[in-house]
Structure 1
Amino acid sequence: MASITQEILIESSAEKVWEVLGDFDTGPSRMAPGFVVDTRIEADCRVVTFADGTVVRERRVTVDHDSRRIVYSVVGGNVEHDNAVMQVVADGAERCRLVWTRDVLPDDLAAPMTTAMTQGMTVIKRTLDG
């Protein structure tokens, strides 16, 4: 199983970043506008549409407000297994770290997912900084 971890510093409080990230229903569109062009809820999943036309269904696993941690899984398509965790960790009063970890099968999905996560993190930082 491929495991991917990325981390960025965001110049904003953990509370402010979590307000966006912890919103399962609309968080992707709010944290990565332009990179994500639509987020909508269908049954027990959110459907996320990316600027490149990719559409994924993500099932909510948990949203833990106390630890500022959200867990979700891409379901369907050519994904055998996916577990994604995003966590906001305070690093002072007006700075935090966003840690995004993903475990995925099949392994050959790691390269495109890493690219997408890197692009997404760039947009997230730009959107949520200060």
Structure 2
Amino acid sequence: MATASAHIEIPASAERVWQLIGGFDSLPDWLPYIPKSELSEGGRVRTLANPSGDAIVERLLSFDDAGRSYSYAILSAPFPVVGYRSTLRVVENGDNARVEWSGQFTPAGVSDEEASRLFRGIYEDGLRALATAFGR
């Protein structure tokens, strides 16, 4: 099993950051790579579209509003992995918010390093996009 993670400090309160990113359907609000998200199964499954129009289907595994985190699994996507599980978390860090995005997965047809590099890049790019929403 391979892993990837990234984090960033945002100059805003954790509550304010969570208000933007804490909804399971909120990726298009802050992640340019995902222009569209549709919920199904009572909000437990989201179908995302990337700029190429490829579908990414994810299932919400856990949601902790008070703890400002949620975990999800990829059900289908154009990524070379299986068994993908990820957590997005916002932690109060003084006057800032620390946003952490991590995942674990089994590479399919690529090395652990290649799969980890792919998702680390996705997380880092996404967190940089989030930071721009807060003037950073």
TM-score, normalised by the number of residues in structure 2: 0.82
1:118 to 116, 124, 130: 124
Moved more, 46-55 or 9-18: 46-55
* 1:128 counterpart = 2:122: no
Match of 2:27 in 1: 28
8 Å CA contact retained: 1:47, 1:56: yes
Moved more, 76-85 or 64-73: 76-85
Letter of the 2:62 partner, please give it: T
Q: Which secondary structure state, in structure 2, belongs to the residue aligned with residue 30 of structure 1?
A: helix
- Per-residue CA shift, 1:29-56, capped at 9, x if unaligned? 1122x32211111334101122344421
8 Å CA contact retained: 2:39, 2:46: yes
Q: Can you give the 5+ residue segments of structure 2 that lack an aligned partner in the other structure?
A: none
Distance 1:109 1:52 in 2: 20
Q: How does 1:11-26 map to 2 (within 5 A)?
A: 11-25=11-25
List, as ranges, runs of 4+ consecutive aligned residues in structure 1 with deviation greater than 3 Å.
none
Deviation at 1:64, TM superposition (A): 0.2
Letter of the 1:88 partner, please give it: V
Letter of the 1:70 partner, please give it: Y
Letter of the 1:100 partner, please give it: W
Q: In structure 2, do the counterparts of structure 1 residues 54 and 116 end up closer, same or farther at CA, with 3 Å as the change threshold? A: farther
Deviation at 1:120, TM superposition (A): 1.3
Q: Which secondary structure state, in structure 2, belongs to the residue aligned with residue 8 of structure 1?
A: strand
Q: In structure 2, do the counterparts of structure 1 residues 36 and 76 end up closer, same or farther at CA, with 3 Å as the change threshold? A: closer
Q: Which secondary structure state, in structure 2, belongs to the residue aligned with residue 67 of structure 1?
A: coil
Percentage identity across aligned positions? 22
* 1:61 counterpart = 2:67: no
Distance 1:127 1:55 in 2: 25
User: Aligned-residue CA RMSD in angstroms?
Assistant: 1.9
Deviation at 1:129, TM superposition (A): 4.3
Q: Can you give the 5+ residue segments of structure 1 that lack an aligned partner in the other structure?
A: none
Distance 1:88 1:64 in 2: 11
